[in-house]
Amino acid sequence: MKLMMSRLMGMMFIQYIVQGAWVLTLGLVLSSYGMPDIIGTAYAVLGIATILSPMFVGMVADRFFSTEKLLGVMHLLLAAVLYITSGFIVAGQPTYSLIGIFFVGLIYYPTVALTNSITFHHVDGPRYFPVVRVFGSIGYVVLGLFIGQMGWSGDVMTWYVAIISAIIMGVYSFTLPHTPPKSAGAPFSIRDLLCLDAMALFKDKYFTIMMVSILILMVPKTAYSAYIPVFLNALGFDNAASMMQIGVAMEVLFVFFIPFFLTRFGFKVTLMLGMISWAIRSVLFSESALSGSYPLVIIGLILQGVCWDFFFTVADIYADKKAGDKIKAQAQSLRFIASNGVGLFFASSVCGYIFNSHVTDTGSAGLAQWETFWLFPAGIAVFVFVIFLFFFKDDVSHEPAKKAAE
């Protein structure tokens, strides 16, 4: 068992190094190569890729190929696409860069589900999966610190790191324990693929409010993930990738506080705390744009733990509570599509418009414009907070999950 755990931990570690290397400072890399105006569009096409990628997993990966071999092939293919796309970025070709980024997302995102499937197949999920998965976060942090300290936060060298890591992951995948396709021989179900059974949850107005809130809160979330490295660079930080790991570390830390807050305060208060934190951190970034206060920036980065865990992670738990046993997987897929699919596409389009309209200067010359930029996600977060305060009255903290028949 120890050997198995070590192999799976290594898998997760490399998996998220690959992701971090190309996506962590994607916005800053595009800006550095003269394409800041396509940052929003780049994340929007990643949103489309996120919507389409589960279809591949559901129709092909789960039925016809052993998971570890498919994982290896996809990472080797990913390395090739990363190499081609990096060339487009260096050449400053926005259209081809966007096409390449779309295919990078289309190939990479299914591999996340594949690594999860391999882990769940070989270990007791509830007991050991969190232990294995945390090594993905560790890999992400190590990668960010490495890139930042090397001074590559805005350089295409990050993509070369991704290429090498993807090749290593591709080769390593073939050494992983055999994992047969979990749905081999099972009939294809369009209901499962499109989450049609889980759609019935929208009859519950509180579930609908939650999903809409997730979609809208993706605006401040995307403003952070897509533009914070560009903002940090404008403030004079040349190690944006390293600094962003403060937020990742806080995500790991604050997740341990979730059980206490849900038990003591319930879902509504915990979710609202996450919502208002998105507003507070955006205001802090806005203020720091003019004052140049580094402590405000650090506090804003630390708040990532509350922002992410107390809203998006707790939203996962809420969706699990609301769904019956038969549709739990569909409910989680629906939540994922609402945020990383439709939500990311919507939020990236909004953030791209705000950025291109208000941040027209680069570097320190644009700091006054960044002050205005951060006020938009702050206002959006406050709007969702107020709607939630008055209209969301559901609290399932102490209720068993509802049966699918209800």
Report pLDDT for 114. 86
User: What CATH class does 192-391 carry?
Assistant: mainly alpha
Closest CA to 381 of 235, 251, 238, 282: 282
So where are the chain's domains?
2-181, 192-391
10 Å CB burial of residue 299 (0-12, 13-18, 19+) is: middle
C-beta separation of 177 from 122 below 8 A = yes
Report pLDDT for 405. 35
C-beta separation of 181 from 175 below 8 A = no
pLDDT digits (tens, 9 = 90+) for 48-57: 998 887 666 6
In the predicted model, what is the mean pLDDT of the chain?
88
DSSP class of residue 58? I
Report pLDDT for 185. 63
**Chain centroid to CA 74: how far?**
20
Give CATH superfamily name and number for 2-181: MFS general substrate transporter like domains (1.20.1250.20)
Chunked into runs of 10 residues, the chain (406 residues) has average pLDDT values of 89 96 95 95 94 69 78 96 98 97 94 85 74 88 94 95 98 93 65 72 89 95 95 91 92 89 92 97 96 93 94 86 71 78 93 94 88 97 96 68 41
Query: Which three-class secondary structure state does DSSP give residue 158?
Result: helix
Q: Indicate the angle between helix axes 125-150 and 240-254, nearest 10 degrees.
A: 160
Kindly calculate the radius of gyration of the chain based on its CA atoms and give it in whole angstroms.
21
- Say yes or no: do domains 2-181 and 192-391 share a fold: yes
pLDDT digits (tens, 9 = 90+) for 170-185: 999 999 999 887 666 6
What number of other Cβ atoms are within 10 A of residue 357's Cβ?
12
Report pLDDT for 218. 96
